[in-house]
Amino acid sequence: MSQLIIRGGSRLEGETEIQGAKNSVLPILAATLLTAGQVELRGCPRLRDVDASVRILEGLGCTARWEGPDTLTVDTRSLEGCAVSEALMREMRSSAIFLGAILARCGQAELSYPGGCELGPRPIDLHLSGLRDLGAEIDDAGGVLHCKALRLRGREVVLSFPSVGATENLMLAACGASGVTTIANAAREPEIVDLQGFLTACGARVSGAGTSTVSVEGGRTLHGCTYTVMPDRIAAATYLCAAASAGGEIFLRRAREEHLSTVTAVLREAGCAIRSDEEGVACACRGRPAAVRPVRTAPYPGFPTDAQAILMAALLRCRGAAVFEENMFENRYRHVDELARMGANIRVSGRAAVVTGVERLHGAPVRCTDLRGGAALCVAALAAEGETEVSETGHIDRGYEDIARDLRALGAEARRLER
């Protein structure tokens, strides 16, 4: 078991390179199954969720190996199965993304319902109904998905909600369908654009990613490729919020402000000076942050739910009060009780949380409740007096390569302690 030990109270000064995007590389790893070839993924982050995806691929008969610090080579030519074990499915929520890819490659698939952070109900109903629209027969009796599709057929699929996972699953399945598939009310996240970029590099014809209508011309034979994963916008948001929390000046190489403009807009309102160019994003924060207008999470291009807890932690010492409204997941405030251990003043009522700024925070033993909640504890610890011990860090490892390393590069006192 490991802990993160963070000593706060010092301004940050330094720079770090933003890792490849967790929420981009996971669907791309699933998409490698469509190629029946070899794929070289550059800028691939070393995360627990990536390890889980690799184990799923290996369980299906594929091979994967690391070459250097951030290059993962995947060979799916030796695929020999279409079933994913319950143990592997329970490791992460996004394991459901393998359904569309396996179905397109094999014509059948067997998976259990996925696991992941306990953030409240995140049904995959939209995934299943969309796949049924393409011709899949799905029996979910007993908690296991038995899927069969001897022939997928392209058609228009209208999503009732712009689900990222459903959009990705349908894009993958549509690559193996005959004809053209149009996904209406599709998710617009940058990670969808990155998945389109990967599929295109493999020879697929996909267009419209980044808009609400994605079109896939199926039935094409895909090949392997070399592809570089986009930088992680939530990791970049985390370190920008770290600077807002502790104060200081930092530079994030590879970060793209156009991917996180709703976050930088709030940080500017809080008093941070932010500039960006093709090299990355620089942020300078002095003094306690100012209170900001209400922050409401929403599908992209709205404020990302993944950054809600992290921004909340950055505003714990704001001058005044800040209001948050969580519209994506019902259990996304589980980190609040842990922040209160550090002296935070937060009141929660339903989907709303009101943060009243305090002058001082103090170090305390705290526990990660989920991936982004754990990152929020690290952000708050940077502004706290004394040492904070963050336990159950396995949640953080699902989305950050080495958060202690990156915080040290930015000038923080942070270390991992193995017990």
Give catalytic residues, as residue numbers: 117
Q: What is the largest CA-CA distance in the chain?
A: 63
Q: Is the peptide bond before 27 cis (omega within 30 degrees of 0)?
A: no
The tokens for 101 are: 């890819």
The tokens for 347 are: 């009141």
The tokens for 237 are: 């948001």
C-beta separation of 256 from 233 below 8 A: yes
- In a 13 Å sphere around the CA of 332, the CA atoms on its Cβ side amount to 23
What radius of gyration do the chain's Cα atoms show? 21
The tokens for 341 are: 């251990």
Rounded distance between C-alpha atoms, residue 411 and residue 406, angstroms: 9
Choose among 417, 400, 376, 405: nearest CA to 50: 400
Residues with Cβ within 8 Å of 312's Cβ and at least 6 positions away in sequence, in order, are 322, 324, 335, 339, 346, 353, 355, 376
Name the burial class of residue 160, with classes exposed (0-12), middle (13-18) and buried (19+) by CB atoms within 10 angstroms of its CB. Answer: exposed
Q: Hey, which bits of 100-148 come out as E strands?
A: 108-112, 137-139, 144-148
Residue 327, number of CB atoms within 10 A of its CB: 15
Give the type of residue at 319. Answer: R
C-beta separation of 140 from 163 below 8 A: no
Q: Given CA atoms 184, 187, 189, 195 in this order, what sign does their dihedral have?
A: negative
Helices 22-31 and 48-59, packing angle to 10 deg: 10
C-beta separation of 387 from 10 below 8 A: no
Q: What is the DSSP letter of 230?
A: P
Q: Can you tell me whether residue 360 is helix, strand or coil?
A: coil
